[in-house]
Structure 1
């Protein structure tokens, strides 16, 4: 059995997330997704999420491409997770190109192309613009 692992925040679940998960799952037989906790996002990534961790986990658990969801609590846990779950391939979006190459001593590392013109950040920015326009119209 070939096990794949990926990590992310998965805030405002969108088609880019679906594409990443589908393409990651196509690389093996089992897909594990590490979901960044709210605390990890705030402390280590300096960002807040709109959707709480527990809700993001439930959304990912309902996705047919995902076999197991685990919490991502630190940058350092990746090696431990790769060993614990006998991971063959570590997958991330190509916006992280080269950032996890040190994991190549543990497993194969693949950077998948991101879906064009979609990201949680761009959705949040569009929502902020719409909220501002709505305020101005009132």
Structure 2
């Protein structure tokens, strides 16, 4: 069984999120998703997500393409998460191209194209208007 791992905030879940998770699942047989905690998001962006980590986790857990979900507490622990969940493939969006190549000694690293013209930030800006 080929195990795939990916990470994200998945705030204001949209079609781009669904597409990347569907394509990540096609890289193997079992998809594991690390959801950034509220604290991790705040440390990265100095703002909290719109939805709580519990709500974001419930949304991701409800998807049939996702087999397992956990909280990502720290960006520095990605290598440990890869090992803990015995991942064969790490999948990230291509906006992160090259940033995770250091994990190629632990697993295959695949960067998938993002869905054009959609992002959570963009959605928030439209709502504000």
Matched residues in 2 for 1:14 and 1:66: separation?
15
Distance 1:29 1:115, change over 3 A: same
1:42 maps to 42
1:47 deviates by 3.3
Tell me how far apart the structure 2 counterparts of residues 12 and 114 of structure 1 sit (CA, whole Å). Answer: 16
Is 1:74 aligned to 2:74, yes or no? yes
Cα distance in 2 for residues equivalent to 1:97 and 1:103: 13
1:28-52 alpha-carbon deviations (Å, 9 max, x no partner): 0000000000001001343321011
Partner Cα distance (1:86, 1:120) in 2: 30
Larger radius of gyration: 1
Q: Distance in 2 between matches of 1:105 and 1:27?
A: 18
Give the TM-score, by structure 2 length.
Answer: 0.97
Structure 1: which 5+ residue stretches go unaligned? 130-138
Matches within 5 A, 1:1-138: 1-129=1-129
Q: In structure 2, list runs of 5 or more residues that go unmatched.
A: none
- Normalized against structure 1, the TM-score is what? 0.91
Question: Cα RMSD over matched residues?
Answer: 0.8
Q: Distance in 2 between matches of 1:93 and 1:47?
A: 22
Q: Distance in 2 between matches of 1:67 and 1:84?
A: 15
3-state DSSP of counterpart to 1:16: helix
